[in-house]
Amino acid sequence: MLYEKRIRAIEHQKVYHAKFKRAFGKKIKYKEFKIGDLVLKENINKTTTNEEAKGKFEPNWLGPYVIVDATGL
């Protein structure tokens, strides 16, 4: 009986994850960039050489950068 409950729980978890993945997959918007487009890069490390811009005053984005080469997936 315990074995059957575990199997049902695993099956329920698989169905739940599939629904979750499908729901959030709809929100993804893929973007294609062309040569010459201007883009911003997220400042993940938040490290700048400017001593005045520390902590919450650091920029969230770096750039703009120009796309010089585009590769496909």
* Tens of pLDDT, residues 2-46: 999 999 999 999 999 999 999 998 888 888 889 999 999 988 876
Domain hosting residue 54, numbered range:
2-66
The kind and range of the H/E element at 30 are none
Look at residue 30 in the predicted model and tell me its pLDDT: 84
Question: 73 in a domain, yes or no?
Answer: no
Encoded amino acid at 31, one letter = K
Residue ranges of the alpha helices (H) in the chain? Answer: 2-25
Look at residue 52 in the predicted model and tell me its pLDDT: 61
Question: 45 in a domain, yes or no?
Answer: yes
Question: 72 in a domain, yes or no?
Answer: no
Instruction: Name the region of 46 (left: φ>0; alpha: ψ -120 to 50; beta: rest).
Output: left
63 or 48: which carries more pLDDT confidence?
A: 63
Question: 71 in a domain, yes or no?
Answer: no
CA 66, distance to chain mean position in Å, is: 21
Look at residue 56 in the predicted model and tell me its pLDDT: 75
Q: What is the pTM of this model?
A: 0.50
Question: 31 in a domain, yes or no?
Answer: yes
3-state DSSP assignment of residue 56: helix
Look at residue 4 in the predicted model and tell me its pLDDT: 95
